[in-house]
Structure 1
Amino acid sequence: MKSASLSQLGNWADLPFFTDTWPKIDAALKAEKRQIFPPENQIFAALEHVAPEDVRVIILGQDPYPTPDHAHGYAFSASEDTRPLPKSLANIFKELRTDVGSAPGSADLRFWADQGVLLLNTALTVPAGEPKGHAHLGWQELTQQVLARLADRPRAYILWGESAQKVAAAVDADRNLKIQSGHPSPLSASRGFFGSRPFSQVNDWLHAQGLATINWTDT
């Protein structure tokens, strides 16, 4: 596996992670015998898409989809032509329909990123067929540094699952909107994810802050 390019990271590039931790992760990825997702040129896609100063909402997940042609560098999002939808995303769309009345027409959630939603996983790579297979490479150092960078002003945080909630434990729930629930995967969606209405909560909070709301459905 080639090294992921860091040239498009903009203001994220000065995070200590890229000097202190990334070289070790990069070496581990190059030594990996299994197929890795997402492709190396998409590993940092979410950070490349949304500069720190433009982030209004953070959706934090676990790790990329471990299925070929699904993961493209954005948490929970998948390539536009992905059919059927990944199971977690299908549950997200089900909650969207309950919460705001409709859901996007495809698996590609990059239009959320266009609006300042950072779709970040706590681990940015995964081996084929092995969820959490790269959870111990050191990716959480990046997640924690990203969250620290974003502590400069109030933002909305959607934390789905134990991995996200653990790494974001220091996020101030009094200063920020901090929504925590079960992960949308079929194994846990019924334990607090369904019925949590995170999308309308975020928009209510943004509106109260005098900020533009998020178009979650692309309609």
Structure 2
Amino acid sequence: PRDEVFAPVDATPYDRVKVLILGQDPYHGEGQGHGLCFSVRPGVKVPPSLRNIYKEMHAELGTPIPDNGYLMSWAEQGVLLLNAVLTVRSGEANSHKGKSWEKVTDAVIRAVASRPDPAVFVLWGNYAQKKLPLIDEERHIVVKGAHPSPLSAKKFF
């Protein structure tokens, strides 16, 4: 929805960002995407990528697996859930790639990376890892791995 395009920066103001998780583009299924990467509204089935994230958190940290995919509580705790492309045509993954959203989100990544306080950048998958040159790895913690999608999760998750 148009009113949720900038949900990541609305939910996690610049001065509160501790972690930036970078996704590729919003979920393209009807009623799924609501602005925060990997998140879906309450009542929407947890997508496979997020289910894999939950499984890994449970295996590594012992956290209980939530029964929903709404990540607003993460955003409110300082996790900026940013997609590199902020919109998508319904039913067409990656359909707005190259339409200038990357310039906007690159500016957000640069802004977080230029803050005096270190942050954690989570870059899952090749697409997200292409943003590595925007981040000073000496000042920040960078976590890299395969995308949590079922297609690639076996490589990392």
CA deviations on 1:100-155 (whole Å, 9 max, x unpaired) are 11222311000001101000000011112221111111111111111111121210
Structure 1, gaps ≥5 residues long = 1-38, 195-219
Find out whether 1:152 has 2:121 as its counterpart: no
Structure 1 residue 98, shift from structure 2 partner: 0.7
Find out whether 1:120 has 2:88 as its counterpart: no
TM-score between both structures, scaled by the size of structure 2? 0.94
Find out whether 1:92 has 2:56 as its counterpart: no
CA distance in 1, matches of 2:37, 2:111: 19
- Confirm or deny: 8 A CA contact 2:121 2:143 kept in the other structure: yes
CA distance in 2, matches of 1:157, 1:96: 17
CA distance in 1, matches of 2:132, 2:37: 15
CA distance in 2, matches of 1:186, 1:129: 18
Find out whether 1:58 has 2:14 as its counterpart: no
CA deviations on 1:26-79 (whole Å, 9 max, x unpaired) are xxxxxxxxxxxxx11111111111111110100001100010111110000001
- Identity of matched residues, %: 40
- Confirm or deny: 8 A CA contact 1:62 1:122 kept in the other structure: yes
CA distance in 1, matches of 2:99, 2:11: 24
Larger radius of gyration: 1
Find out whether 1:173 has 2:137 as its counterpart: yes
The match for 2:3 is 41
1:143 to 69, 85, 105: 105
Structure 1 residue 87, shift from structure 2 partner: 1.1
Runs (4+) of structure 1 exceeding 4 A deviation are none
CA distance in 2, matches of 1:143, 1:104: 28
1:96 partner amino acid? M
Structure 1 residue 169, shift from structure 2 partner: 2.5
RMSD over equivalenced CA pairs, Å: 1.1
**Secondary structure at the counterpart of residue 127 of structure 1:** coil
CA distance in 2, matches of 1:111, 1:71: 16
Higher-RCO chain (CA-CA 8 Å, sequence separation at least 6): 2
